[in-house]
Amino acid sequence: MSDRGKVRNGSVHSVNRAISILQVLALRGAAGVTQIADELDVHKSTVFRLLATLEARGLVEQDASRGQYRLGYGVVQLAAGATRTYDISVISRPICQELAEAVGESVNVAIHDGRDLVTIDQVRGNASVTTVDWVGQRTPLHTTAPGKLFLATMPEADRRRILDRGLERHTVHTIVDAKELETQLAQVRVQGYAFTEEEHEIGLTAVSAPIRAAHGGVIAAVVVSGPSFRITSEAIPELAEKVVSAAAAISERAGFLKSG
């Protein structure tokens, strides 16, 4: 790599870390150099240097008596330029378009509403056979890949209330035994993604990964779905890597902290 390339990569890395510092302060309200360094797993000297730059631009302010930093008025000015209707579907769309182009399948963004899943956006893949338009449709949590993500990550008491009401069968592959589903949900928590194979609709396979907000909670899910003859069991792990990566990129845009 040329010297110019090394400088450019170093600059990008510094920008990423500076943004992470702002996100920490947005979450904590105020924090010292050591606390920020520990949270981001970055050396204190690096944090101090970046804070000095941010302070000079009015993005952070220092409370000299407490040795802590907080967001400055410059952040308010930047926020004023952002639209109030900037929601998760807007944030996610460019990344979903890239994912759809890369995998050739439809990519959806879905949210959780009670016992149901609601699709709020969809990007069509370029494959000749595509899935239906899911936007606005409500589907059960237990039969869908994103639904399983929400079930796996919600508080146990909330999950029990849903499962105890019974699980409706949609296909011969639908999991309707609560204990069997709980075992699968435990695996979802370990692997970081969920998938379904013909559990909601015969011939349809889907893979989903979580979108997290600044506080770490799962606020939405990215879903790649397509015909089972293309998304085979053998293809799921490789596809899942791409979906997880896209969900992580959207999470960062939504304010989720990136360490390092």
What is 76-112 written as a DSSP string? HHHHHTS-TT--HHHHHHHHHHHHHHHH-SEEEEEEE
pLDDT digits (tens, 9 = 90+) for 57-104: 888 998 877 789 998 878 776 766 554 445 788 888 899 999 999 999
pLDDT of 245 higher than 90: yes
Indicate whether 99 and 214 sit together in one domain. yes
Give Cβ neighbours of residue 248 (< 8 Å, ≥ 6 apart). Answer: 209, 256
Taking the mean position of all CA atoms in its chain, how far away is CA 89? Answer: 12
Instruction: Between 259 and 123, name the one with better pLDDT.
Output: 123
Residue range of the domain that includes 127 = 88-253
**In a domain? residue 259:** no
CATH number reported for the structural domain that contains residue 32 in this entry: 1.10.10.10
Indicate whether 123 and 194 sit together in one domain. yes
pLDDT score for 154: 92
**In a domain? residue 248:** yes
7-21, 109-123, 140-154: range with lowest mean pLDDT: 7-21
- Three-state DSSP at 213 gives coil
pLDDT digits (tens, 9 = 90+) for 149-205: 999 999 999 999 999 888 999 999 999 999 999 999 999 999 999 999 999 999 999
pLDDT score for 127: 66
d(CA 24, CA 27): 5
**In a domain? residue 258:** no
- Please compute the mean of the pLDDT values over residues 219-238 and round it to a whole number: 93
Q: 254 to each of 109, 214, 218, 219, 247, how far by Cα in Å?
A: 14, 7, 11, 10, 10
Contact 222, 92 (CB under 8 A): yes
Provide the number of structural domains found in the chain: 2
